[in-house]
Amino acid sequence: MRGGPAFEVLFNINTYLKKKGLRDKFELTFFAPMEKPGQKMGDKALLMMDKMFKSMDIHKQVGSKIVAFESDGIVFENGRKILSDLTMFISAGTGHTILSSSDLPLSEAGFVVTNEYNEVEGFEGIYAIGDSASLMGAKWRAKQGHVAEVMAKNVAYGIAMHIQNIDSKRSYMGQLNILCMMDTGNGAAFVYRSEKGGKMIPLPIIGHWMKKAWGVYCKYSKLGKIPRIPGM
> Which pLDDT tens digit goes with each residue over 135-181?
998 888 888 888 999 999 999 999 999 999 999 999 999 888 888 89
Is there a domain that residue 231 lies in?
Answer: no
Q: Report whether pLDDT(3) > 70.
A: no
Distance, CA of 66 to CA of 49 (rounded, Å):
22
- Same domain assignment for residues 169 and 193: no
Whether residue 39 has pLDDT greater than 90: no
Q: d(Cα 115, Cα 69) in Å, to the nearest integer?
A: 39
Q: Does residue 121 lie in a domain region?
A: yes
Q: At 226, is the secondary structure helix, strand, or coil?
A: coil
Indicate whether 169 and 56 sit together in one domain. Answer: no
What local confidence, expressed as pLDDT, does residue 66 receive? Answer: 94
Q: Across residues 103-127, what is the average pLDDT?
A: 95
Q: What pLDDT sits at residue 222?
A: 87
Residue 114 has pLDDT above 80, yes or no: yes
Same domain, yes or no: 44 and 57: yes
C-alpha 79/C-alpha 183 separation (Å) is 33
Task: Please indicate, yes or no, if residue 182 is contained in any of the structural domains.
Answer: yes
Give the structural domain span for 40: 4-92+177-221
**Is residue 185 located within the same domain as residue 165?**
no
- How many structural domains are present in the chain? 2
Alpha helices in the chain (DSSP H): 4-19, 43-55, 97-100, 145-163, 206-222
156 conformational bin, left if phi > 0, alpha if psi -120 to 50, beta if neither: alpha
Q: Is the pLDDT of residue 100 over 70?
A: yes
pLDDT the model gives residue 25? 96
pLDDT at 46 over 90: no
Q: How confident is the model at residue 188 (pLDDT cuts 50, 70, 90)?
A: very high
* Judgement on whether residues 33 and 101 belong to the same structural domain of the protein: no
CATH code of 204's domain: 3.50.50.60
Judged against a pLDDT cut of 90, whether residue 19 lies above it is answered with yes
Residue 122 lies in a domain: yes
- Grade residue 232 by pLDDT with cuts at 50, 70 and 90: low
Q: Is the pLDDT of residue 11 over 60?
A: yes
Three-state secondary-structure class, residue 34: coil
Instruction: Tell whether 88 and 196 lie within a shared domain.
Output: yes
Query: Does residue 80 sit within a domain?
Result: yes
pTM (two decimals): 0.81
* Helix residue ranges, H only, 30-183: 43-55, 97-100, 145-163
- pLDDT value at residue 67: 95
Residues 6+ apart with CB under 8 A from 150: 172, 175
Of 159, 175, 191, which closes a domain? 175
| Cβ count within 10 A of residue 159 | 12
- Alpha-carbon distance of 15 to 10, in angstroms, equals 9
> Is 227 within a domain?
no
What's 171's DSSP letter?
A: -
Would the pLDDT of 60 be above 80?
A: yes
